[in-house]
Structure 1
Amino acid sequence: MKSGAAAAGTELVLDVFMINGLLLGAGDRLAATEGLTSARWQVLGAIALAGEPAPVPRVARRMGLTRQSVQASVNRLVHDGMLTSEPNLDHARSPLFGLTDIGTAAYERLTAIQQEWIEGLVADLPAAELQAASRILRTLSVRLGFDTEPAAQISRTTRGVAT
């Protein structure tokens, strides 16, 4: 028989699986206004929030994604003119990717759309409860082996970016 915490933890994990799918679907709908998917928006945002060009492995680590999935998104974003590629003096086989003016403008428009969307989504939820839920999810992320410091810093900076 599961302890109370284990039963509650199982319920939380199942809820996270469900909400992840729902958030990705919502993110796809929001990102479609700029011709993007949630995955590409997520990568665009990670690079935007880094404040400097970044290599694929760093973006992948910060977002808890595989390098392969980030590379696929980066390739498409470069093709679409939203990212540039420049040599990485520290690692010749891992170029740095930064936002173009097109990428910056798309990210800013999506941020405005997302801000309005999140305001409606959480309108009647207490901020303290949302912050507590976020702390629990970050703690679980650390226990699963993910260093959430960059993600936590990003979430504090953006105050609610969904994807």
Structure 2
Amino acid sequence: MTDRQELLSGMALTVFKLNGQFLDIAEGLARPVGLTAAHWQVLGAVLKDPLPVAGIARQMGITRQAVQRIADILADNGMVEYLPNPAHRRAKLVAPTERGRETVQRIEPAHAAFADRMCEALGDDLASEIHLRLRELSDTLETLETREDAR
């Protein structure tokens, strides 16, 4: 294996581990209010603006089918509702209900406390730098995927 292959594999394995760690943290924060990490992710994706299921899936980097399943569960539990989409007749918009917003707000104190602990451990400057570099890595991978799809 070349040095670059080792580097790619090392980055991927670290991100996979981070993903698991973040999901465990999210589960711990969401569980006390009756949500799963996945439910919280979908709700969080639509708090500012309603989105179609495909838009949520793109934002989260998961399949449309997985988001649809979660959105249907959230709708059955009164956390989200489906609204007409002026841009697409069949692709309804997912929007949080007042109950969904209130549930996410109940996570905020524990979320803020964990964010404070993490930033205190890393330092605010390093935490910001890590966030920037992770976004750059994600953007680069997206660009490379797009180029590959164009072939």
Asked whether the two chains share a fold, i.e. TM above 0.5, the reply is yes
Match of 2:36 in 1: 37
Structure 1's 133 and 8: CA in aligned 2 closer, same or farther, altered over 3 A? farther
- Report whether the alignment pairs 1:79 with 2:81: no
- Report whether the alignment pairs 1:108 with 2:105: yes
Give the superposed CA RMSD.
Answer: 1.8
Match of 2:133 in 1: 136
Question: What letter corresponds to residue 22 of structure 2 in structure 1?
Answer: L
Shift in Å at residue 2 of structure 1? 3.6
Superposed counterparts of 1:1-163, under 5 Å: 2-3=2-3, 7-48=6-47, 51-145=48-142
How many residues are matched?
Answer: 143
Q: Alpha-carbon deviations, 1:103-141, whole Å to 9, x = none?
A: 010111112221112212332212221222222211221
Shift in Å at residue 82 of structure 1? 0.6
Please give the alpha-carbon distance, in whole angstroms, between the structure 2 residues aligned to 1:15 and 1:52: 32
Shift in Å at residue 79 of structure 1? 0.7
Structure 1, gaps ≥5 residues long: 147-163
Q: Which has the larger radius of gyration?
A: 2
Shift in Å at residue 6 of structure 1? 5.6
Please give the alpha-carbon distance, in whole angstroms, between the structure 2 residues aligned to 1:34 and 1:80: 13
Q: Moved runs in structure 1, 4+ residues, more than 2 A?
A: 5-13
Stretch of structure 1 that moved more, 20-29 or 122-131: 122-131
Please give the alpha-carbon distance, in whole angstroms, between the structure 1 residues aligned to 2:117 and 2:138: 27
Identity of aligned residues (%): 34
TM-score (norm 1): 0.79
TM-score (norm 2): 0.84
Shift in Å at residue 9 of structure 1? 4.6
- Report the structure, 1 or 2, having the larger helix content: 2
Match of 1:159 in 2: none
Question: What letter corresponds to residue 34 of structure 1 in structure 2?
Answer: V
Q: Alpha-carbon deviations, 1:14-39, whole Å to 9, x = none?
A: 22111211211121121111211111
Structure 2, gaps ≥5 residues long: 144-151
Please give the alpha-carbon distance, in whole angstroms, between the structure 2 residues aligned to 1:58 and 1:144: 19
Q: SS of the residue aligned with 1:85?
A: strand
